[in-house]
Structure 1
Amino acid sequence: MRTVCVTQDVPANALALSPDDLQVVIAGRYVFKIFSIEDDDLVEKANLRAGKHLNLNFSCNDVVWNPVEDCVLATASTNGAVVTWNLNKSSRSKLDCVFNDHSRTVHKVSFHPSEPHLLISGSHDGFMKLFDLRRREASQTFTSNAESVRDVQFNPHHNMTFCAVSENGNVQLWDMRRADRVEKQFTAHGGPIFALDWHPEVKTWIATAGRDKTIKVWDLNEIPTVCNTIQTIASVGRVKWRPNTKYHIASSALLWDCSINVWDIRRPYIPLAAFNEHKNLTTGICWRADPNNLLSVGKDCTLIHHSFQDATRPMEEVNPAALGISIYGNITNATRIKEDYEPSGSLAKLSMFRKTAALNEHNGQVLSSIQVMTCEEDGPVSAHHIVQSAKQYLLTGRSLAEICEHNAGVARKLNRHQVALTWQMLQMLYVGVSGGSDHLSGHQGSSRDDPTIQPDTSLENEQRSARHFSGGDAGGDTSGGGFSAEEGDTETDDTDNHDLKLTNIASGMTINQDFFFGDGEINQIPFDYDNLNNMDTSQDWTLPNEAFEPRHDILHRSAIPPQEFSSKCSPREIQDAGGVSGYVMETPSLLSEVRGITTSPWECSELVVDMLYYYANQEDVQMSVTCIIVLGDRLKELLDAEQVEHWFLSYIDLLQHFELWNVANQVIQHAAGLPSVYQQNQQSTTVTLNCGRCNYPLSRNSLLCRKCGCASATCALCHGMVRGLYVWCQGCSHGGHLHHIMQWMANNKACPTGCGHLCEYI
């Protein structure tokens, strides 16, 4: 049959096939119809919503057809009711029985494969109900200990068991004869599981799908193990095994992807086929007995009968050659290996009758060659840089200036000078310059940062020498730069020498004497800068007001130029003084007060945001995330939350790859504004314990192993069952009561069981 599409007025949530594979029922909030599957079309046969008394019992989340009695249907309602329908009723309304045992929305209903009177349901209230249609009541209740049961199905290969998946990511296997305890339970996904399906041929295989964008195939032997994992691009809402094909499974998404993908579980990354007829999300899928025909409904109000021959083949569009570059600078090249052998002679004639396999039929292994070219030197962002920076960077705990200074030093030690300069710039932009010109010039080897480098004090020593000794020509050049009498006796040299000496004297660079004339020796007094308290306090170290003591008092002072009047004297005061003669004016100070011009602060946040994007584009997501954490809320309004979330998740993935668990946890703690990142620390961790004798998984709070019956925890010293605190050695797994082990380890180091292991109890 070819691909056929039927359009409805409203969308449907689910569909189911009749046992004879000739009819299909669709159900939704406002639709409940039966269609007949004919050769070239889908023909409507019945509308089960007909009637005057329509209520929420007709609003369906799921629908199932009884596999034994083809006249019985069951639906899961949004109001918590489970409703059965009898198509053989003579009345217009086909409603048969309503079960109101659930308190919240029912997500799934399932008939027993061989007992037509048994029906099970899973609800948002966390319970599963087993209904007996003969007695018209719920005969048993199963508690999942989860918030919601999303899907439940009877085992088609074992009449007494069924499987349920929950909101918390757990898979539970139940024996319907034992409602008090679950037979087997394990965590299958990191989030809610939305669908499951038993394999029609392999009795121990089930497929589960959930919000974590994966489809997992489990082998339910004694210890459930994952056989295959399929990665999808969106959360998966429905999965169905393809009949008569062991490795093919179909899926539909809850978000973004409107296509129905058919996967080969041996090739988990590219679909084998895809049906793209739906224009909105697909809500229900179902295979017919023929593996080439698939039925589906969606939110685009359509019911579609798909033909496998009309499906697209994504494998045909895949490039057989691939090139990948890692963040560490390694290059990988993959190409398909071509067979050089060509048949000749009679073999060539026989090959004419052999069917050539299409590209989309290559479902098994394909031979290919992979070449990995590793860079000899680390690239701009090497693994060494990431690990060492993550270990040494500061994120919080100090001021912003101290954090930036520390992180700049870490980057400088790793020879990442551009990163170090970036941290210094962040310090100047948000804190200010503190520490001299080195912050501005960006020196990367200053004496302040490297204690092994001694500062150059030659100029300082020269200044101290000039300050210690001034005047006189004996003893070398002590004039602070002038020539001695022996070096030049010209008048110009003497004048220059004399001027330099006067300059030194006026600046305070003299000894005890005010000035010295003659050729005699000078009693130089050494000045100890390191021990200022040991100076001779009897000496007068005050600099005189004049370089020379005047011979007589100056009685008539010259007039002061107008521009030299102090700003403190008003013109009126000057006029009242009758002139400037005898009026002592305040001279302007040599150190004048400079007042800064008030300017508006520079907003640098946009520049910093551009810097973050630059480092992210350079594959240095570590720098972007670290800067965001250090700067706090300063850039909150300018950053895209989705982009920041992507940076955080990428950096956390890198840290976990390098097993830097503590640093990753610290980064997660500083992502309070990103729920998808912060919730990684809110997820619970489950530790599964096995029996020490038979290695069978132990259930929660179980003291005895269900398989061998031995105690799950026995003391190695008293051989009794441990009911309280239990301590064990992680090397040999032997342990016992806490006080018994403490007494033993006080005098012994070897294991008390005699296994020879030197136990360590933490």
Structure 2
Amino acid sequence: MAARWNSEFYVAMEQRDLQASAMAVNNSGNFVLLAGRRCIAIKNLDDIDGEPLKKFPRQSKYEVGSAEWNPTEHNRELCVISSNQRLEVLCWSKGELTQSHSLRAHTRVITGLNWHRSDPNILASCSVDTFIYIWDIRDSRRPSISLSAIAEATQVRWNTMNSNILATAHDGDVKLWDRRKGTAPVQYISAHLSKIHGLDWSPRSETYLATSGQDCTVKFFDTTNARRAESVLTTNAPVWRARFTPFGNGLVTVVVPQLRRGENGLLLWNTDNRGSPVHTFVGHRDVVLDFDWRKRLPNDVDFELITWSKDQTLLIWKIDPFVQKLCGHRPEENAEEDLMEELVKTSSPKIQLLQQEFSLLNVHIPNMEVVKMDVTRRTCTVKVDSSLGIVCLQVIFPNAYPHGVPPTFQIVQGSTIDAHLASQLTQTLNHVAQQRVIKNRTCLEPCLRQLVATIEQYQSDPTDSKKQFDVNYTESSNLGTYNDTYIPFPRTSGAKFCSANILVCFGRSINIRKAAINKGETATPRALSALGNYGSKRSNGPVTISSYYYQKSRRTQQNPYKGPKAYVLVYDVSPLFYVNRFLADNYILAGDVVAICRYNKSIASSIGRVDLVQAWTLAELVSGPQQAEEDMCWTYHPFGNELMQSLISHYANQSDVQTAAMLCCIFGKENETNSKKITTKQRLIHPELIAAGKRWYESGGSPYHTIPVADIITEGIGFPLIKSTRSSSLENLRLHELQHPSIVDKDQNVNLYEYYKLSYAELLHRWKLLYNRVEVLKYMSTPSETYRGLEFLTDCQNCQKPSKYCTCDNCKKLSLNCIICHTSVRGSANCCLMCGHGGHTAHMQQWFVKNKMCPSGCGCRCLAETAEVFKL
């Protein structure tokens, strides 16, 4: 049986009126955030009795579902809470809590959120709407990545060691996603037979995952072979959360709050011995809502567990060394040989990673000596001898290094430099290290090279005691000499066609390139490492990548040219293309076919396009009546169809999508003027029309239309499904299975003709000829897509059924009642986007002239909340 002690905790806070539903402990372990519907509170854990609880009012009718602090050092002041369909990113600075971002994209309740473990700007959220969104708070208007699953998502967790992997829970299944590999899951795990409530990645293994569910079990999976669970931990009740301990092989579980009856404790397990819990935390008088581990200070022996309960009490639990040993953990005060034995026994991947970095370190850096590298103590000591004095630097690597956590730099005993230089060196090293570990990269060698380069730069100008060191120079020149040999240099020139008839070119000045060649330098560096050599030959100091491109050159005797080093040119290349904006603006599509062809021929002749004059002449000939036979016009001649197909194919191959699309539109429309019935003779000439069970020709139009009329869709002929977003890529064409091969054999290019019209419509949109674009889109044979945007529905006051219109489709009564006059709304109405209350526009306008709160009394600030929606 597990021991049931209640002497290891102390009450940090008890606030009956707080009614907080979510809790989170910040990265440094100093502050705890408690969030609820009415307010958000922050408590200083380092000064429990002295500093009072700080409360910040929050007006919302929705409870807070989840809360979490940013785990990185860079954005440690940020925290996020979820409330219904919205994420609120808050900033805790100088004793004040302010909202910095509001993230809205989910259409249903948000069920989980998780900050990225190393990137301070990345956040993941999941919702009942089946979507998982990855946000970058630097651009909070929309998610940077959208992942879609069939079932609703209940949990999302980033991998603690792999920055690109995240796991989500969907009912009883787990999906693993790699943000580098598109929007499809890379792995699927059938974990539980019932709903999964919790996910947690192991802090010590990249592939070890724990899931807790409604089936009263906690299962452990190795994602390299996830067909079956590695092990199963069985409890007596459904498990709400299961999280690994920061020490040993421990796991803490709590049962589902809705089903707990008298069980208000937390269970501590040893995952190597899953028969029974090794310890039970008893002290709360109601169910535990959330728990988190507090970051331990370097000299602390005990770990601390923070718990928040529905009884509105915050407890801090001291995990003494004896309890830690029950989970297989050896406290740090044990003998060094015991620690070595543990490291060898566990074969820690973190030790291997640091040992690999030590083995790859280039120890032949000029003026630097590596004194000691200790893998077990995770330290490295170096000495730099210079004219300024001796610098003895000790680098200490935390356990989480390099996953978002930089090492610590200390100028230790034996150094002879002054305090100001020591401060400058540590500040510079911290900057370089932070830039590396934020991308989960090791930083020892770059930091050591930066150390030597900074000292040399300080030697060159020792009189300036407040000198600011050029970090970019040393990163590009000195750091690149060892690691960046094969990294290509950014392009110095290029060209790209943009929009309609626009060519954008960028490059460097010819005079600058000639001046570089005359001085014996290459016109363009071959790699990043070559940039250092490029700058060393100049007399005006080092060169960074930024200055290589953007700084202006000076006129000297060696370089008589003056001007920008980089330039961007925009050309109008209309003469190079067959498409013409003048033609697009003056072509017509409405009216008689013969008149259309004659008019468009005259427009083409006015700008000297002889080839188009011939094309429109042939089109006029095909469409015009001939008197060769009494009951047959020339339009029914067997060559008419082939002629138009040849014309369209010719201009499409010449990239003249304008002419191809115009011919497709004109000869795919019904002609009202030449109204004649198809005779028996014509039916004999065209038996495929009868076999299809549908005439291509109605109301006098040509049966040789290159585009079949839209009503043939009902007979099963497929047309391309075009994506809603505008694009000129042929990948947008998806051909459906056709059920009339006899007709398709006569016109296999039907889908391409639809694409020509869509491409021409896109071109007209770029030319801002919107009216002409709409005319072309009218001739599209594909059915219009169902509207998938935002729609407002009203619940009928009589039958409670949702209605899109002012009159209920179910009970046929007016569905909206004014919240002010309580009468049915027949005319203009306005409703709040947040709370849904509204009524007559005039009544709502009069109300909000003097009031800010909703007239229903729901507490919503309708104008402010609606304005926030439109800001996004």
Q: Same fold (TM over 0.5)?
A: no
Greater helix proportion: 2
Q: Which has the larger radius of gyration?
A: 1
TM-score by length of 1: 0.38
